[in-house]
Structure 1
Amino acid sequence: MTTIEHNSRSASTNKKTMLWLVGGGLAMLGMSFAAVPLYDMFCRVTGYGGTTQVAEANGKGIIAREMGVRFDASVEPGMPLKVVPARLETNPIGTISTVTYLATNLTDEPLRTTASFNVTPAQTGVYFNKIECFCFTEQVIPANSTVEMPVTYFVDPDLDENSELRTIRQITLSYTFHDS
């Protein structure tokens, strides 16, 4: 093999290697942008990490087993908002219920907020369904005002069929309010 043939093959090999590296880098960059929506979709489908479900209604009925639902709220540090969660409710599983959080804007300006949420124990997320929730959209709270923030939910009766959750008697729905 002559030096020219060797250099030509090396250049061709280097070009292929460079194309693979650039292509791999672009694929990794694309996957990094897709990771958040894919992870969010995975959590919503599986209830992973306490992610709740969204439903239009409870088509499975009500069962005799009761479940307590405790409500919790926290506010991003430095945010001028006071939130009072709803009180503990205990209902037969499958019961559709509406509770109300109270949010007070402590400033002289309108306040925009969004709320992130989860349930604990995390394994119950796939069974906790929200029909309506203030957390689905951004909320605008007028200056120096208190507003009601309703949540309509039910616990899916299929929870009773999960042997790992037989001892669970209470679920906690937590919201963290963020400045938007």
Structure 2
Amino acid sequence: MRWWRDLTANGRVVALTLATVIGMGSLGWAAVPLYDLFCRVTGYGGTTARAEAGSDVVLDQTVLVRFDASRERDMPWDFRPEQTSMEVRIGETHLAFYEATNPTDAPVAGTASYNVAPYAAGLHFVKIDCFCFEEQVLMPGETISMPVTFYVDPAIVDDPEAKGIPEITLSYTFHVTDLPDEYAALQDDDAVRTTN
């Protein structure tokens, strides 16, 4: 009978260990989407808000918005803001542009990550439309102008951490991504032609 108690005790230890491993794996898998959701809801880390339309309230107060652009190390594009700053009325919808050029002889796909500084302004910087919401593909030698439509939420003037901020910086970093299938086929055709 003792062997049966030892077997059930060992079985409980194995079951508890497996449950712990599965639980930790599940938490690890869910961490990124949950953190992203948390950042979008709270504006933590300079994550911006999104809206379908502009604000109904426009204030006489203004804030300076600066625009910044960078690339990850492997991204071959030239990427820059078309304007370095603009003075915006709080609550008014504005349009800014970034320019990207693919100087290579192959199509390159990229996505942009973004943040706002200071972080306290992230919750109040609202994007209506942005090139960063979708993947961009540039053909060899192609240059494009990419818009971002935004406003600064009037609630910023009532936020004790964000009110009185004199300037906000909107930063984008472009990262290389895999080409969509239709472009990958074009790249393969070009490689075959150059080897013949």
Question: Structure 1 length normalisation: TM-score?
Answer: 0.93
**1:160 Cα offset (Å):** 0.5
Structure 2 counterpart of 1:135: 132
Aligned pair partner of 1:122 in 119, 122, 129 = 119
Structure 1: unaligned runs, 5 residues or longer:
none
Aligned counterpart, 2:43: 47
Counterpart CA distance in 2 for 1:77 and 1:158 is 37
- The answer for unaligned runs of 5 or more in structure 2 is 178-196
Number of aligned pairs? 176
1 CA distance for matches of 2:140 and 2:99? 14
Contact 2:55 2:93 (C-alpha < 8 Å) held by counterparts: no
Query: Residue deviations 1:155-179, cap 9 Å, x none?
Result: 1100100122233111000000111
> Is 1:77 aligned to residue 73 of structure 2?
yes
Runs of 4+ in 1 over 3 A off after TM superposition: none
Over aligned residues, Cα RMSD in angstroms? 1.2
Paired-residue identity, %:
44
- Aligned pair partner of 2:62 in 59, 66, 89: 66
Offset at residue 145 of structure 1 (A): 1.8
CA contact (8 A) 1:66 1:90 kept: yes
Task: Show the counterpart of 2:105.
Answer: 108
Distance 2:165 2:88 in 1: 14
CA deviation profile, 1:58-113 (whole Å, cap 9, x unmatched): 34411121111100000112422111213201111011011111111111222211
In the alignment, which of 150, 154, 157 is matched to residue 157 of structure 1?
154
